[in-house]
Each structure stands twice: as C-alpha cells, then as structure tokens.
Amino acid sequence: MGRLFGTDGVRGVANVDLTAEMALGLSVAAAHVLAEAGTFEGHRPVAVVGRDPRASGEFLEAAVVAGLASAGVDVLRVGVLPTPAVAYLTGSLGADLGVMLSASHNAMPDNGIKFFARGGHKLADELEGRIEAIYDEHRTGAPWDRPTGSGVGRVRSYDEGFDRYVAHLIAVLPNRLDGMKIVLDEAHGAAARVSPEAFTRAGAEIVTIGAEPDGLNINDGCGSTHLGKLKAAVVEHGAALGIAHDGDADRCLAVDHTGEEVDGDQILAVLALAMKERGALRSDTVVATVMSNLGFKLAMEAQGISLVQAAVGDRYVLEEMKQHGYALGGEQSGHVIILDHATTGDGTLTGLMLAARVAQSGRTLRELASVMERLPQVLINVPDVDRSRVASSADLAAAVGEAERELGATGRVLLRPSGTEPLVRVMVEAADIDQARSVAGRLADVVKSALG
C-alpha cells in the first residue's frame, strides 16, 4: 500500500480514494496511536471534529465520529468551521486530538482528513506513519481492542466553537477597522460565516461574495484560486481592498483598491514590516519557502529583515518557525502563519491583520505592497524524465551554473523534482521577463536531454 499521508493529511476523491471505511479506520488508528504515545494517560480523551461544507463531509464526518467514539474518545462536533478554527479549538479546549475534514482549495469531489495533536499542532511525521501502519494492519483483518459499556466515547455538538474562535480573532487584532469597506470572497467554503462575522465585529463595512455554500459549489470559480470576481467587486464597490480565502480558509490572498492581486509574498512583506515596527517580529526574521519570489528576499534585506527559506509546504515553514522561535512565516500561495496567535495558516486572521495594517498606516494596500517588486518568474514543467537524477547529472549542474552566472544577483534558478509525478519543475527569475523565458527554455532542453 502506498503512503496515504501527504504534506497536508490524507486527500483524494471522496468515496473513491477516501471512503467512509478509510475515514473510520484512520480515526480508530489515530486514537490507538495517541493512546500508545501516552497522550490520553490519566484522563478520558477528547477530540474536536470539524469540516468544510462539501457534501461528502457529511458522511465522512459521521465515519470519523463513529471511529473515535468506538475507540473510547469523547467527541465535540464543531460543524462547519475553517481548518485553523479546529486547530485553535483543539488547543483552546485542551483536547487531545483535532480532526478536520477538508480538501482545502481542491475541487468539490475531493475531500481529506487532517489530524491535529494536543495544542492544535499538526501531527509529527512519525505519528502519521504509525497511524498509517496500524490502519493497514487492521484493514487486513487484525481485530481492534474495543471498549464497551461506559468506556465508549460520547458525542455532542459544540456550537460555542464559532463564537469562541471569532472572539479570539478580534482579541488579537492590534487595531480596529472602523469605516473600512472590504470585499470578502469566501469560496463558498468553511469561512462563509466566520470571516464576515469577524470583519464586521472589527468595525469593517463588508461586501461578501462566494458566501452561500450548498455543499457542491466550494471553490467553484471563486476564492483564492479564482480572483476574477473579487477583483471586479472591489472596483465596483470602491472598496479599500478585497480578501480571498480557499475552501478551508487556511489561505489568504488579497486585491488592492485598483483590482490588482496582492500575493502571499507581498502579504508576508507587509505583515513583516508591521510586526517589526511593533517589536513583534522575533529576531527580525521571516520564514518563507524556496519558491518565494526573489523580489521578496531583496525587499526584506533592504528593510533589515532576515529571510529563512524552508522546503515547499506550510508544515516545513512551521517546523522552521517552531524550532527557532520565529513569529511569522508563509508561502506565496497565501498560507501565512502568525505563530503567536495561530498554530497553522489562518486565512481569516491574515486578512484581518492585513486590513489592520492598512487602517493603522493610513496608506493604501497598493502602496504598502509596493515595498517589494515581484521579479518576472517563469515555470516550465518538463515531463517524462528521471527526476531521481537531478542532483547527480553533471550536464545539468553545468547548465545551472552557466545560467546563474548569466543572471547574477538579480536572478535565480530552481530545479525541483515533483514529489508526485515523473517531471522536473524548472523555475527561473530575472529582472527581465524575456531573459527569464530564454534561460528557462534552455534549462528545460538540458533537463530533457540529460534526464530523458
């Protein structure tokens, strides 16, 4: 059996790749693994379970709840809430485990399961590996050790989770948003109630789009993967800015008052300067990934802020932050982690903090985002090659060295073997788009000839 857990939980087409049987089995396995690890020692275990509005989340939630309760875990069902809300409530309520059912920005037929450990942090790789091993062992016939009588878990709805999470968001804001007009695109997803409520309580005048989830329309032509409607709405309503989330609202992208996109790198830059000004940017350092635009690195250097680059994936950004005590990190895609107030990427919190900086500074988001200039970036996927030989090919090393000399300090080359497909990604940044295209094209040809 192949590895189930990716960088962000287990994900696939609901009822095909991710079935009710699998959801139940993984939940039972998680309970057993955490019990073995001593997480439940000395008390009756409690889990927080939430989901996004996908239709398949209804039966998958039922399976997860059944699995946990059958393993002796009491369950608090928080209903449709963002992923970061489930993480927050897991920590805030002192729960032993959190489970979120969502496929984030994926299309509606997909779904996923994400587990959070005590405190609301993502499970360590070794625990995920153990859950998968135990699940696989019992899937092939080994019986579970099951509690009976009063030992089975009890299940109840925890409707207070909504208000508790929104109150947390408002409490950590450095200033209010009174009088600010903001358009919110909720992607017909998990933040459709939470985000408008939070922005309204913070004093903003809001216009919402994509805030009518019906279980089938999540991420459909809206949200952070489809910014066209938000751009048009911001201009139409004369708003100060627009905020876009994905299906589970762990991401945030923005649009300035002219309708121009503000990506994750630019959001990180704006928040880094705001936090540095408040003395909240520990070690004057921000964590990003190797895919962040070179313009972000140059902007941070110019502002006296150090940049640490992690592997692609918000879990690797978070690991770097936790290990060294950094306060801010994120990805170009809009996953932004503000570690003093969240244990994972939180799109609603990010949007609130971004709007708060606009309100506090008296400057437009366009002006604030101009602190960094996005250098032209060209990405070419080269298929049907042996990605395992990227690091060992002398021809490829020579071609990369030549490209780096040509680009100098204002350009960058990155070759990344895909983690899931037989292809290599060639990324080139340069001050000039034509030069970026030329260099990327040449490198792609070398990848084909050297690794094909």
Instruction: For residues 61 and 59, give the distance between their C-alpha atoms in angstroms, rounded to a whole number.
Output: 5
The residues, ordered by sequence, that sit 6+ positions from 387 with a Cβ below 8 Å of its Cβ are 417, 418, 422, 423, 424, 451
pLDDT of res. 247:
97
The class level of CATH for 10-159 reads: alpha beta
With vertex at residue 93, the alpha carbon angle to CA 84 and CA 211, rounded to the nearest 5 degrees, is 35
Cβ 271 vs Cβ 287: under 8 Å: no
Work out the number of other CB atoms within 10 angstroms of the CB of residue 151. Answer: 10
Strands 328-330 and 253-256 turn out to be unpaired
pLDDT of res. 361:
97
Which architecture characterizes domain 164-369 according to CATH?
3-Layer(aba) Sandwich (3.40)
The pLDDT of 416-443, averaged and rounded, is 87
Q: What is the pLDDT of residues 12-68, one digit of tens each?
A: 999 999 999 999 999 999 999 999 999 898 899 999 999 999 999 999 999 999 999
Strands 423-429 and 412-417 turn out to be antiparallel
Residue from 378, 384, 379 nearest 423 by CA = 384
CATH entry, 377-451, from 3.30.310.50, 3.30.300.10, 3.90.1200.10, 2.30.110.10: 3.30.310.50
Assess whether the region 10-159 and the region 164-369 belong to the same CATH fold.
Answer: yes
What value does the mean pLDDT of the chain take? Answer: 94
Q: Which residues participate in catalysis according to the annotation?
A: 104
Residue length of the chain: 452
Please spell the DSSP secondary structure of 254-290, one letter per residue: EEETTS-EE-HHHHHHHHHHHHHHHT-SGGGEEEEET
Q: What is the pLDDT of residues 366-400, one digit of tens each?
A: 999 999 998 898 999 999 888 888 888 888 999 99
pLDDT for residue 290 is more than 90: no
Q: Which residue has the higher pLDDT, 421 or 102?
A: 102
Domain locations along the chain: 10-159, 164-369, 377-451
What are the binding residues for Mg(2+)? 104, 246, 248, 250
Prediction pTM value:
0.91
pLDDT of res. 1:
44
Q: What is the pLDDT of residues 75-117, one digit of tens each?
A: 999 999 999 999 999 999 999 999 999 999 999 999 999 999 9
pLDDT of res. 174:
96
Using alpha carbons, list the distances in angstroms from residue 301 to 244, 305, 321, 332, 414.
28, 5, 19, 18, 20
Instruction: For residues 21 and 107, give the distance between their C-alpha atoms in angstroms, rounded to a whole number.
Output: 22
Instruction: For residues 348 and 195, give the distance between their C-alpha atoms in angstroms, rounded to a whole number.
Output: 6
For 412, the 3-state DSSP assignment is strand
pLDDT of res. 5:
83
pLDDT of res. 154:
98
pLDDT of res. 420:
62
The pLDDT of 163-171, averaged and rounded, is 98
% of residues, the chain, pLDDT over 70: 99
Instruction: For residues 133 and 366, give the distance between their C-alpha atoms in angstroms, rounded to a whole number.
Output: 49
Of the chain, the end-to-end C-alpha distance in Å amounts to: 28
What are the binding residues? 104, 246, 248, 250
